[in-house]
Structure formats: structure tokens, C-alpha cells
Amino acid sequence: MQGTIATFDAGARSGTLLLDDGTELPFGAPAFDGSGLRKLRLGQRVAVERDPDGAVRQVRIPGIA
């Protein structure tokens, strides 16, 4: 699943994604920390991995494992 970064708080390392279907999806610090990224910018395209319960497990740059 993919989307774009709608909000990102660098201090809290959390934010909100806007999925391709228009759904907003919050992500917490663990999802960002698991990505290996140092920062995100608004509008940045990301791939999203979710847990079975729907929570975001990881955000990452598409095409990068």
C-alpha cells in the first residue's frame, strides 16, 4: 500500500499518511523508527506496512526494502 506524508512531527517522530484512496492513517514513532529513515517531508511518497489489526508497522521509501 502506498500514500503520501500529510503531516510529520520530527520531535515526536510521528505523523499522518494520506493513502491513495484518500484515507488518512496515523503512524507513530515505532513505524518511523523501523523505517531506517532520518526524516520525512510533507508530500513524500511512502510505502506502508500494516499489522493485521490495521496499525502502521512501518513507513518506507517505495522500492527500498
pLDDT digits (tens, 9 = 90+) for 23-52: 999 999 998 887 778 888 999 999 888 889
Query: How much is the average pLDDT of 5-26?
Result: 93
pLDDT band of 64, cuts 50, 70, 90: low
User: Can you give 8-61 as a three-state secondary structure string?
Assistant: EECCCCEEEEEECCCCEEEECHHHHHCCCCCCCCCCCEEEEEECCCCCEEEEEC
pLDDT at 39: 85
C-alpha grid cell for residue 29?
A: 514513532
pLDDT at 14: 92
Domains and CATH numbers, the chain: 2-60 (2.40.50)
